[in-house]
Amino acid sequence: MKRIAWDQYFMAQSHLLAFRSTCTRLAVGATIVRDKRIIAGGYNGSISGGVHCADEGCYVIDGHCVRTIHAEMNALLQCAKFGVKTEGAEIYVTHFPCLHCCKAIIQAGIKTVYYANSYKNHPYALELFSQANVKVEEVMLDESLIEINSKEKSEFVSHLLSMLEEKEVSREELVSLQEQASSLFSIRK
């Protein structure tokens, strides 16, 4: 039995949270961890009870959607709301945080930022992190843990198979390929 590494586990959690995002511009997830325990999580979305970008379109000012609270902020605010200490914690984010979130992360006493995707990594943010002795590390998510675009992938494969049906592929080969495809994709259906 192969156990999943901690950093992959927490990063996968952030990617799962990102699926809850309501903003159509970018889906971000953040997980705050202390002593190998998840203490909070967030994704970018509207204020509770507010309208969602996914339903009403984004509210864009100066190229930014102002309707949503960022994932990192939501995770930090969850700690504030429920009185959970963030000092010395770590945060796992799907995307490198924006400058505002970077400042909030530092001020909340978070000591390590793990990110999966670079996203306009602001040089000033990196400077602030280094001044505050906050470690910043890239963690690539093992994509086999969370199948991203799984529906698109299975649709693509079934399209390829239907194309093959029209070509000179033997019945046996085709059936075998179809079986292989269904065993690969049925797991997550």
Q: Does 30 bind Zn ion (CB under 5 A)?
A: no
CB of 163 to Zn ion, least distance (A): 37
For the CB of residue 124, give the shortest distance to Zn ion in the complex, in Å: 14
x/- binding map, residues 124-143, to Zn ion, per CB under 5 A?
--------------------
Cα 103 from chain centroid (whole Å): 20
Contact between 164 and 177 (Cβ < 8 Å): yes
Closest CA to 21 of 124, 95, 116: 95
Does residue 98 bind Zn ion (CB under 5 A)? yes
Question: Which of 27, 70, 96, 125 touches Zn ion by CB under 5 A?
Answer: 70
Q: Is 17 in the site for Zn ion (CB under 5 A)?
A: no
Could you list the active site residues? 72
Binder of Zn ion out of 26, 38, 58, 139 (CB under 5 A)? 58
Q: Mind giving me the DSSP string for 65-97? A: E-SPBPHHHHHHHHHHHHT---TT-EEEEEEPP
* Strands 37-43 and 29-34, bridge-based pairing: antiparallel
| The one segment of 1-9, 64-72, 81-89, 121-129 that binds Zn ion by CB under 5 A | 64-72
Looking up tokens 């309707």 gives 67
Residue from 40, 53, 76, 110 touching Zn ion (CB under 5 A): that is: 53
Name the residue type at position 110.
Answer: I
SS3 165: helix
The footprint of Zn ion (CB under 5 A) covers 23, 53, 58, 65, 70, 98, 101
